Structure 1
């Protein structure tokens, strides 16, 4: 993984370090790395350490619909950093960002937009 660019870093806002993410999800740091490899989570290197957007975790769980959305984005050829940018960029048609919509339990709308990029 490469260092996150400042624009994407600012777009995401709050991050969890590998250890913080592991604690928030009650799993090992190695499990977080595996979830990133499997596209169930997306992360980036910040300050030399793998970090996960804090918005991807709620109440000790991965946000519902996030793994499926990240898989669709990977299938569309998105690199992890591009997926992060897409997830946190405002979309007038949702409204809000895709991660906001997922957190509001509107995952179907988000995945439709992601799948449309496959066509």
Structure 2
């Protein structure tokens, strides 16, 4: 799935927060980002109406619990999942968090 990637300053502006607060959201797993291409970037699809997608944090915790790194969690969230029928992030945005987390728990 293609998504725009946002820097920490861009996320801070989107959320009307400080860059330090965005880093805390990353540290607390309320958000997940990647350093694959330099500084930390966060998929724009993780935000809805200027807010962090509320079901993201718990889903990230489940993915970390089954052994996924941040990069692996992002890749799984953005890649179509056969058992869900769409990319997990699309299902989360559609309010299907229980289904997404149930599938995520079987990945370990």
Is the structural similarity TM-score above 0.5?
yes
Which structure 2 residues correspond to residues 47-86 of structure 1 after superposition, within 5 A? 47-86=37-76
TM-score, length-normalised on structure 2? 0.91
| Structure 2 segments unaligned to the other structure (5+ residues) | none
Which structure 2 residues correspond to residues 8-87 of structure 1 after superposition, within 5 A? 11-45=1-35, 47-87=37-77
2: CA distance between counterparts of 1:94 and 1:52? 23
The 3-state SS of whatever aligns with 2:35 is strand
The 3-state SS of whatever aligns with 1:45 is coil
* Contact 1:45-1:51 within 8 A present in 2 as well: yes
| Structure 1 segments unaligned to the other structure (5+ residues) | 1-10
- Kindly state the Cα deviation for residue 78 of structure 1 after the two structures are TM-superposed: 0.7
- Aligned-pair Cα RMSD in Å: 1.5
2: CA distance between counterparts of 1:85 and 1:46? 12
The residue number in structure 1 matching 2:78 is 88
- Kindly state the Cα deviation for residue 92 of structure 1 after the two structures are TM-superposed: 2.0
TM-score, length-normalised on structure 1? 0.83
Query: Relative to 1, partners in 2 of residues 1:46 and 1:26: Cα closer, same or farther, differing over 3 Å?
Result: farther
* Contact 1:64-1:107 within 8 A present in 2 as well: no
